[in-house]
Amino acid sequence: MTAQMTRRQFFKVTAGGVASVGLGALGLSPEQVQAATRPFKLERTTEARNICPYCSVSCGVLMYSIGDKAKNVKAEIIHIEGDPDNPVNRGTLCPKGAGLLDMIHSPNRLKYPEVREAGTSEWKRISWDEAITRIATHMRADRDANFQAKNADGVTVNRWQSAGFLASSAASNEAGYLTNKVLRGLGMTAIDTQARI
């Protein structure tokens, strides 16, 4: 032991050396050891497929939750990684997608519908039923007031241009088809998603 190395440092170095020798003796590379121990971390989890919500690339993710099987522990997502079977990203994620776990557990994450009534500055929680009813009521009133059957030249246009809809580029083909079918059927022309590709 050199004069520069403390007793604690000495034990750290020798412990690391012993560990490396042990793994080497088993014939395993560090990558193989990591691959071998990973299943144990996720052994009791439930795996679910999903899509990263951030951008229009729509990378596939695997989400692992724990706690729901026992029925007496609140389910919690403990790990997220890229889905190797998804043809969009083949298991890769950009830094935003790799940080999804933090977004999910953020105290600022919006988890339910809220409304700020006219004349107030406070947001209040409402049910999904109430939110959908409110949105439908507003849409109906606006469409009734602004729907144009014909333009100034008398040409039939059947359009509703006073409202717009922001859909999702991460939606499936079927959801995208239905979204457009319903909105175009109402005469809406301003439909967009976050896709810029």
Residues lying near ligand SF4 in the complex (CB under 6 A) are found at 52, 54-55, 57-59, 89, 93-94, 96-97
CA separation for the pair 145, 6 (Å, rounded): 81
- Closest CB 85 distance from ligand SF4, rounded Å: 15
CA separation for the pair 197, 180 (Å, rounded): 19
- Closest CB 159 distance from ligand SF4, rounded Å: 33
Amino acid letter for position 121: S
List Cβ neighbours of 187 (8 Å cut-off, separation of 6 or more).
143, 147, 148, 158, 159, 160
Count helices and strands (H / E) in the chain: 6, 8
- Taking a C-beta distance cutoff of 8 angstroms, is the pair 162, 146 a contact? yes
- Closest CB 81 distance from ligand SF4, rounded Å: 11
User: For residue 20, how many other CB atoms are within 10 A of its CB?
Assistant: 11
Which one, 54 or 147, has the nearer CB to ligand SF4?
Answer: 54
Name the residue whose CB lies closest to ligand SF4: 97
Which one, 157 or 171, has the nearer CB to ligand SF4?
Answer: 171
Which one, 83 or 159, has the nearer CB to ligand SF4?
Answer: 83
- 163-to-166, 168, 181 alpha-carbon distances in Å: 10, 17, 16
CA 69, 71, 72, 74 torsion: positive or negative? positive
- Closest CB 105 distance from ligand SF4, rounded Å: 17
- Closest CB 49 distance from ligand SF4, rounded Å: 14
Which one, 23 or 57, has the nearer CB to ligand SF4?
Answer: 57
Which one, 55 or 78, has the nearer CB to ligand SF4?
Answer: 55
**Any idea how long the chain is?**
197
- Closest CB 197 distance from ligand SF4, rounded Å: 11
Which one, 97 or 159, has the nearer CB to ligand SF4?
Answer: 97
Torsions phi, psi of 27, nearest 5? 75, 25
